Amino acid sequence: MSHLAVVKTSTEKYRLVKEINGKYFEIPGLKTLSDALKLNLTDLKKIYETASTNEINGELVAPVAPDTEVWGAGVTYQRSRDARKEESGIPDVYQLVYEADRPELFFKATARRSVGHGAEVGIREDALTSVPEPEVAIVINRFAELIGMSICNDMTSRNIEGENPLYLSQAKIYFGSNSLGPMIRPIWEIFDHNKLDINAKIERNGSIIWQAATSLKSLNRSFEDLIGYLFRCQHFPVGVLLSTGTGIVPPLDISLASGDVVTITVDQIGTLVNKVITTPLDINDRIK
Ligand code: DO4
Ligand code: MG
C-alpha cells in the first residue's frame, strides 16, 4: 500500500512525496501536488510507480500545494438533507437542492486555510453549535480525471448556517475550518472506490460522546456528475480537491467543544484525527 503525501521539510512547505510504510520518497520531476495534477492519469501513474529510492525527511501536512483550491459539495446524502431541514429556519432549499440536477458546490479552502492530520481544527467563538462533517475528498487533475481519494473534515458552525442558508460561507469558511488528510490514496490502488465505508467519532475527556457510520453507497450523486458540474465554466490549471458532502451529522444536542477529538476513518483511505480548539473572534490580531 502506498500514498501520495505532502510533507514539510527544512526547505519546502508543501513537498509532494510517495509514502510507503511511513517512509517518504522522492517522485521524479514532481515537487508539489500541483505538478502531479497537471499530468493526466496515465502519465501520473507511470511516474508514481517509478518513484525513486531517495528518502525525504519531513512532517506530514495536509495534502495540498500552495495554489490548491478545495471545494465542497453539499446535501449529497439523505442524512445531510434531513439534518439541515431540522436545523434550518428555511428547510425547503435543502430538499430542492437534494432533488435538483445541479448539485450544491461551494468554495471551501486554500492551502493556507487547511490543516492536516494531527493538527487542530477550530470552532467559531461566535457559534452556538458546531459539528464536524466527515467526508470523502476526491482529488481531480486539470483534465477532470479522478486521480485519488482523501478525507476532509468540513467543519461547520451549525446554528449560523441554520439561521440563514446565505450565512453558509461564514458557517464553513473561517480559521481552522478545514482539515484534510492524512494522505491521498491513488485511485488505481483502491478497490470499489465508490462503495467505501466512512466512520466518525467525537471523544471528550477520553470517552466517545458520539459516533456514526455511512457508506459512499449512500451518496446521492456520482463522482462523475459532481466533477462534471464543478468543471462547468471553471478552469482548474493545477487540479482541485472536492469534498463530496457528509452522510453523517450528529443529532441536534451534540455540539463540539474545545478539547474534543474528532476521528474520521474511511476504508482503504486512512484515518484523520484532529483536536478541536476555539477560534477566537480576534484571531487576525493574534497571528503575526
Ligand atoms: O448546504 C450546506 C452545506 C452542505 C454540506 O456541506 C454537506 O452536505 O456536507
Ligand atoms: Mg459538508
DSSP string of 162-214, one letter each residue: HH-GGGHHHHH-STT-EEEEEEEEEGGG-SSTTS-EEEEEEEETTEEEEEEEE
Query: Which atom of ligand 1 is closest in space to residue 72's alpha carbon?
Result: 6
104 lines ligand 1 (CB under 6 A): yes
Quick one: cell of 151?
A: 478525507
Angle at 153 between CA 151 and CA 156, to 5 degrees: 155
Q: Is the pTM of this model over 0.85?
A: yes
- Distance, in Å, from the CA atom of 23 to the CA atom of 2, rounded to the nearest integer, reads 10
pLDDT tens digit sequence for 43-64: 999 999 987 889 999 999 999 9
**What separation in Å is there between the alpha carbon of 83 and the centre of ligand 1?**
10
Q: Do 245 and 237 contact (CB within 8 A), yes or no?
A: no
Mean pLDDT of 224-230: 98
Mean pLDDT of 9-26: 97
**What separation in Å is there between the alpha carbon of 1 and the centre of ligand 2?**
28
- Average pLDDT, whole number, for the chain? 97
DSSP string of 134-176, one letter each residue: EEEEEEE-TTS-EEEEEEEEE-EEHHHHHH-GGGHHHHH-STT
Ligand nearest to the CA of 96: 1
What is the pLDDT, as a whole number, of residue 89? 85
Q: Do 90 and 63 contact (CB within 8 A), yes or no?
A: no
Query: Which atom of ligand 1 is closest in space to residue 246's alpha carbon?
Result: 9
Mutation probe of ligand 1 site: the residue of 135, 154, 166 with most atoms within 8 A of C-beta: 154
pLDDT tens digit sequence for 76-117: 999 889 988 898 888 899 999 999 999 999 999 999 999 999
